[in-house]
Chain A
Amino acid sequence: MATSITSQIRSNVTKTYVFMAGFVAFVIFAAYVMGNALGYGNSWMFWAVVLSSVSSFASYYWGDKIVLAMSGARPADRKRDFDFFTVAENLAIAANIPKPRLYIIEDTAMNAFATGRDPQHAVVCATTGLLTRLERRELEGVIAHELSHIKNFDTRLMAVVAVLAGSIAFLADMFMRSLWWGGHRRSRDDDRGLGQILLLVGIVLAIISPIIATLIQLAVSRRREYLADASAAYLTRYPEGLAKALEKLGKDKEVLEAATNATAHLYVTNPFKGKNFGTWFAGLFNTHPPIGERVKTLRAM
């Protein structure tokens, strides 16, 4: 049993790296085409990436505080939230990471999330709905899933991916503005045919690349969910706990009011339940894989 879980973690890690490499290549390619279409060359691409990195630096360092403030959470108390507190303590022992800071959102919807740039600055947050309606073993599964996000540095990875996606959106925006103000200064002296083709490609890229970037960001996020599920099963040595918890969460139709689009990818399951997840196309826009798939994968371990 243990070997199949370990191999799953390994294959998930490899696939994530492939995703990341593809993403970086895509950012550089898009920036290159756009920069040259405008006639500014590569320096344009460089500055675009620098600017968006600086703006996300703040969210990287203070992201946990911002997220907590946005969701209106209160710190957990050992006496009052005994199971939550002790389960987190225990799994931190098993994962050999410091116990994360624990917070609670007063909401009857069932959900939990993890944030923080590394295990030393990690935060795990759960809703009261989750804590009251799950058995201890099920709660262990969910907390193990969140701790795995922390231990695998998913929280950091997602921050990096967000920077890349942000850079692309920023690039596309700048490109369109430059067009507006007549920024393609070199095209006049250049070979007109090539310049116009580049310009056309640039416009198409500016339109579709933010969409593609978002799709890749979501795909990475879904990948990490499977990995966190696998690691959680490995940590608790009891995949059934998380599987049962996910089934309960899947049945819960309540929408979490504290969640926004910006924080959706952090949660253990998608906090917006209303959408139709049935088709493949709609699935592309999800931050999380379908719960049925996840339960099936867990039971196969």
Chain B
Amino acid sequence: MNPLFIAAGIVALIVVYIWSLYNGLVRESTEIDEAGAQIDVQLKRRADLIPNLVETVKGYAKHEKSVFAEVTKARSALMSATSLPAKAKADDMLTGALKSLFAVAEAYPQLRANENFMQLQKELSDTEDKIAYSRQYYNTQLMEFNLKVRTFPNNMFADKLGFKERQFFQATESEKKATKVTFS
């Protein structure tokens, strides 16, 4: 067997390997970007529900000003956040603020019986589920991607092809559990 053929064969194998690695990583990054956009859609949906909710609660509990201010502040922080980690942090803040808003609402039986309020509460808790699930999908995709980038022999090439490990959308487990209790 001609050693030249063997060498050519090895080079061809390496080329095919890098080719498929590159395409695989491009596909997975695109999927992750799409999953991230999905989280964005849901976060926006959540933010859109807030003004309506605040108005409804105000109708029954005018003097709870600090709570409204806190919620509004958290909402605008979420709206202006650009990077995913910043959004995750703002979203956590909003969750905390909403918790105190709903705690306040507990003291007003008429508010709790309000049709509009109940509907908003349902929509909000559903949107939180949507955020949690799109986040879960995002993180699962990300885990696969990071694993691929990190394992041998991919780790020798991924960096040079311009692919780096990516950041998870951080969700504290306690937050997911807490919202489940509050709204369900």
**A61 contacts the other chain (Cβ, under 8 Å)?**
no
**How far is it, in angstroms, between the C-alpha of A237 and the C-alpha of B38 when the chains are bound?**
20
The verdict on A82 contacting B130 (CB below 8 Å), with A135-B184, A237-B136 known, is no
Which 10 pairs show the lowest CB-CB distances between chains A and B? A94-B133, A86-B126, A93-B133, A90-B133, A90-B129, A93-B134, A90-B130, A94-B137, A94-B136, A136-B184
**Interface range, A side:** 10 to 19
Which residues of A have CB within 8 Å of B38? 93
- Which listed residue (A89, A137, A237) contacts B130, Cβ 8 A? A89
Most chain-A Cβ atoms within 10 A of its Cβ — which of B35, B133, B137?
A: B133
**A276 contacts the other chain (Cβ, under 8 Å)?**
no
Indicate if the CB atoms of A137 and B180 lie closer than 8 Å: yes
Using CB atoms, name the residue of chain B closest to A140: B129
**Interface range, B side:** 10 to 19
**How far is it, in angstroms, between the C-alpha of A274 and the C-alpha of B129 when the chains are bound?**
38
Using CB atoms, name the residue of chain B closest to A238: B180
Would you give the 0/1 interface string for B96-127, flagging 1 where the beta carbon is closer than 8 Å to chain A?
00000000000000000000000000100010
Within 8 A of B (CB), among A87-117: 87, 89-91, 93-96
Known contacts A90-B133, A93-B38, A94-B137; 6 additional CB pairs below 8 A are: A86-B126, A91-B133, A93-B134, A94-B133, A94-B136, A96-B137
Which residues of A have CB within 8 Å of B180? 137
Q: How far is the CB of A87 from chain B (nearest CB, A)?
A: 8
**How far is it, in angstroms, between the C-alpha of A87 and the C-alpha of B122 when the chains are bound?**
12
Indicate if the CB atoms of B122 and A93 lie closer than 8 Å: no
- Secondary structure type dominating chain A contacts: helix
Which residues of B have CB within 8 Å of A135? 184
**How far is it, in angstroms, between the C-alpha of A96 and the C-alpha of B130 when the chains are bound?**
12
Q: How far is the CB of A238 from chain B (nearest CB, A)?
A: 9
**How far is it, in angstroms, between the C-alpha of A244 and the C-alpha of B122 when the chains are bound?**
22
Would you give the 0/1 interface string for B124-164, flagging 1 where the beta carbon is closer than 8 Å to chain A?
00100110011011000000000000000000000000000
Indicate if the CB atoms of A90 and B126 lie closer than 8 Å: yes
**How far is it, in angstroms, between the C-alpha of A74 and the C-alpha of B82 when the chains are bound?**
43
Which residues of A have CB within 8 Å of B122? 82
**How far is it, in angstroms, between the C-alpha of A94 and the C-alpha of B134 when the chains are bound?**
6
**How far is it, in angstroms, between the C-alpha of A93 and the C-alpha of B41 when the chains are bound?**
12
Which residues of A have CB within 8 Å of B136? 94, 237
Indicate if the CB atoms of B184 and A93 lie closer than 8 Å: no
Using CB atoms, name the residue of chain A closest to B177: A238
A sample of 7 cross-chain residue pairs with beta-carbon separation below 8 angstroms, ordered by A number, consists of: A86-B126, A86-B130, A90-B126, A90-B130, A96-B35, A96-B137, A137-B184
Q: How far is the CB of A246 from chain B (nearest CB, A)?
A: 19
Which residues of B have CB within 8 Å of A96? 35, 137
Using CB atoms, name the residue of chain B closest to A95: B137
Within 8 A of A (CB), among B154-184: 180, 184
Would you give the 0/1 interface string for A184-200, flagging 1 where the beta carbon is closer than 8 Å to chain B?
00000000000000000
